Amino acid sequence: MAEDLSSLYHVRGHVKWFDPTKGYGFVVSEDGGLDILLHVNVLRNFGQSSVADGAQIEITTHRTDRGVQAVEVVSIVPPDRGETAVLSDFAELDVEALSDAPLEPARVKWFDKGKGFGFANVFGRDEDVFVHIEVLRQSGLADLQPGEALAMRVIDGKRGRMAAEVLAWEAALNTEE
């Protein structure tokens, strides 16, 4: 069944909350109005399995009998770093040098949101790369799933290799064009 394209609307707003376990969350439009349902499948079509609360988001929506729903994610900008704590491993890093570091393809080994950390493996390497939840938040993500493909900027931290930036695989592909 084809969708009526005349009922699609472009919306800018922010993520009110998103729970990957429940499989949905809500977006608040910058123009106000009802909360907009964001289903995990719509987010996955964008290449992510989660999104950080407070992230700026552009979506295409349509109205249904049950309310307004997102049908496509156009873009996501991580929440403003504001007063978030800087991990000690990053305190002395040159931010410009970090942004010049190559994106490395990786896969999530495990991540425990409750503990606030997990590990990933860069393709072709044996060592684990530590992933802290604050790095996820600053990258616009809220959680990771085992086996999920990522692109990461990795540094040598005080206790070993660690992710300094994490991107969804599809987002990383778009930055290299």
Please list the alpha-helical segments (H only) found in 15-128.
Answer: 40-46, 95-100
Kindly tell me if the per-residue pLDDT of 84 is higher than 50: no
Kindly tell me if the per-residue pLDDT of 85 is higher than 90: no
pLDDT of residue 83: 43
Cα dihedral: 157, 56, 81, 99 (round 10): 40
- pLDDT-derived band at 97 (thresholds 50, 70, 90) equals low
pLDDT of residue 114: 85
12-63: pLDDT as tens digits:
999 999 988 899 999 999 998 889 999 999 998 988 888 988 889 999 999 9
pLDDT of residue 69: 95
CATH code reported for the domain at 5-77: 2.40.50.140
- The ranges assigned to domains in the chain are 5-77, 88-175
Does the fold of domain 88-175 match that of domain 5-77? yes
**Do β-strands 104-112 and 8-19 pair in parallel, antiparallel, or remain unpaired?**
unpaired
The span from the CA of 113 to the CA of 143, in Å, is 6
Kindly tell me if the per-residue pLDDT of 122 is higher than 80: yes
The span from the CA of 95 to the CA of 100, in Å, is 9
More confident residue, 84 or 124: 124
- pTM for the model: 0.66
CATH code reported for the domain at 88-175: 2.40.50.140
What distance separates the 2 farthest-apart alpha carbons in the chain? 55
Is there a contact between 24 and 40 (Cβ–Cβ < 8 Å)?
A: yes
